[in-house]
């Protein structure tokens, strides 16, 4: 394990925790219970997953920490995603503070269960494919994975993050934020179309894999 990698992971973890907390509680209030629930289910599993990767697969952690996108189209996608998260979290806090359109508590708990199940599936995808990057590129000696969840859809990570992210505003009890997060499916579609071009060109066997697994994101839909 690299000490530099460990420090980078800790710094990014703390920075992410502070940013999300700032966006949720500064516009709203520290009494925002759903905000604390989201912080717990988001950052506790993330911390555990980080420890596991540091011990068992530091190379995977290195790949997951790399977010320096080279593709100009994807840089725009990242910016739009950032705007979505910032505005969604800020409005969730304001929504709670001023009671604009607060969803029932049972919706929040449905969101919690959905989020945690999605997180478990997220971990499974990481276990199946240790070459998963946050940027669109193919690494040297990267192997095609076509088993497990990859035998159902070609992009299980995106399918899971779609559910994961859409469950966040439900956890927060904010209908307004949910509407904002509906931008994410369109972001994913753009990213997948761009990524498949790169994979077809650079990943051996991907064209045959597309024939074997026909659905990109949602079984029997697309």
**Domain containing 23 — which CATH number?**
1.20.120.1630
84, 168 contact by CB (below 8 A):
no
Q: How distant is the alpha carbon of residue 155 from its chain centre? A: 13
C-alpha–C-alpha distance, residues 177 and 83, integer Å:
12
Bridge partner list, 174 = 102
CA within 13 Å, CB half, 6? 7
In a domain, 89, yes or no: yes
In a domain, 171, yes or no: yes
pLDDT given for residue 76 in this prediction? 81
Residue 92's domain spans which residues? Answer: 3-212
Question: How long is the chain?
Answer: 222
In a domain, 108, yes or no: yes
Gyration radius from the chain CA atoms: 18
In a domain, 107, yes or no: yes
Tokens for 114, please give them.
């959905």
Q: What is residue 157's three-state secondary structure?
A: helix
The count of structural domains within the chain is 1
Bridge partner list, 39 = none
Phi, psi at residue 71, to the nearest 5°?
A: -75, 125
C-alpha–C-alpha distance, residues 82 and 77, integer Å:
9
Phi, psi at residue 66, to the nearest 5°?
A: -80, 115
Which uninterrupted H or E stretch holds 33?
Answer: helix 33-56
- With tokens 């996108």, the residue in question is 69
Tokens for 151, please give them.
């035998």
pLDDT given for residue 74 in this prediction? 74
Q: What are the 10-residue block averages of pLDDT along the chain, 222 residues in total? A: 80 95 94 96 92 83 71 79 96 96 95 96 86 69 85 93 96 97 93 88 88 91 88
In a domain, 116, yes or no: yes
C-alpha–C-alpha distance, residues 177 and 95, integer Å:
9
pLDDT given for residue 71 in this prediction? 67
pLDDT given for residue 194 in this prediction? 86
């Amino acid at each position: 394990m690299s000490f530099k990698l460990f420090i980078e992971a800790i710094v990014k973890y703390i920075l992410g925790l502070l940013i999300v907390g700032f966006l949720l509680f500064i516009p709203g209030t520290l009494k925002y219970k759903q905000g604390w629930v989201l912080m717990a289910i988001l950052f506790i599993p993330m911390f555990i997953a980080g420890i596991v990767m540091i011990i068992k697969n530091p190379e995977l952690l290195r790949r997951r920490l790399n977010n320096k996108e080279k593709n100009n189209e994807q840089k725009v996608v990242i910016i739009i995603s950032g705007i979505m998260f910032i505005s969604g979290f800020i409005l969730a806090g304001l929504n709670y503070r001023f009671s604009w359109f607060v969803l029932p508590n049972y919706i929040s708990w449905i969101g919690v269960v959905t989020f945690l199940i999605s997180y478990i599936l997220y971990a499974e995808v990481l276990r199946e494919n240790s070459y998963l990057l946050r940027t669109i590129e193919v690494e040297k000696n990267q192997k095609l994975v076509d088993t497990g969840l990859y035998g159902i859809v070609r992009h299980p990570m995106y399918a899971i993050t779609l559910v994961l992210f859409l469950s966040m505003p439900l956890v927060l009890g904010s209908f307004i934020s949910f509407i904002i997060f509906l931008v994410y499916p369109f972001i994913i579609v753009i990213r997948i179309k761009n990524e498949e071009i790169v994979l077809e060109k650079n990943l051996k066997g991907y064209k045959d894999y597309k024939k074997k697994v026909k659905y990109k994101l949602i079984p029997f839909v697309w």
